[in-house]
Amino acid sequence: MKKIEHIGIAVKNLSASNDLFAKLFGKQHYKVESVEREGVQTSFFMMGDVKVELVESTNETSAIAKFIEKRSEGIHHIAFAVDDIYAEIKRLKEEGFQLLNEEPLSGADNKLICFLHPKCTNGVLVEICMGRKSE
C-alpha cells in the first residue's frame, strides 16, 4: 500500500455536511458524484495529499444507511492507494484477510475499489483503491 488515499465519513445530509466541512476546512469541496451501485452520493475535499470523502445514502437499504442507523454519522472507512489492485487483492487473500468483494468494483473518483471486512482489521473498514488511467 502506498498511502492513505481518503477517509470516508458517513453523513445524513450531504448539503449540510458540505457546508459544515467547508467552514471547518476553510475551503469548498471540489466535486459531488453519485455511485448508483452503492446507493450513495459523495463529495470530496482535498486536504494536502489526502482526500476527505463525505458519503450520503440515497436509499434506506445502502450500506451507508445501515451504518448511520446502527452507529450514527462518523468515520466510515479509511482507503489506501495501491499500484495494482488485482495483485493486492491476491496478496491480502493469501495473508488471510476476508474481502467483502473478491473482484474490484467501480467506485467514486474514477477508482477501482475493494473492501476488507472490519472483523479482520480490528474493527476498521479498510478500502483499497486504484485510480484508472485518467489519474
pLDDT tens for each residue of 13-31: 999 999 999 999 999 999 9
What are the φ/ψ torsions at residue 100 (nearest 5 degrees)? -85, -20
| pLDDT higher than 60, residue 135 | no
pLDDT, mean of residues 102-124: 94
pLDDT tens digits, residue range 54-110? 999 999 999 999 999 999 999 999 999 999 999 999 999 999 999 999 899 999 999
Question: Which cell is 6 given?
Answer: 481518503
Sheet holding 3-11, edge to edge: 31-35, 40-47, 50-57, 3-11, 74-81, 126-131, 111-116, 105-107
**pLDDT score for 132:** 83
Q: Which amino acid is at 22?
A: A
Question: Cα–Cα distances in Å, from 134 out to 1, 17, 26, 102, 130?
Answer: 20, 28, 28, 24, 11
| pLDDT higher than 60, residue 134 | no
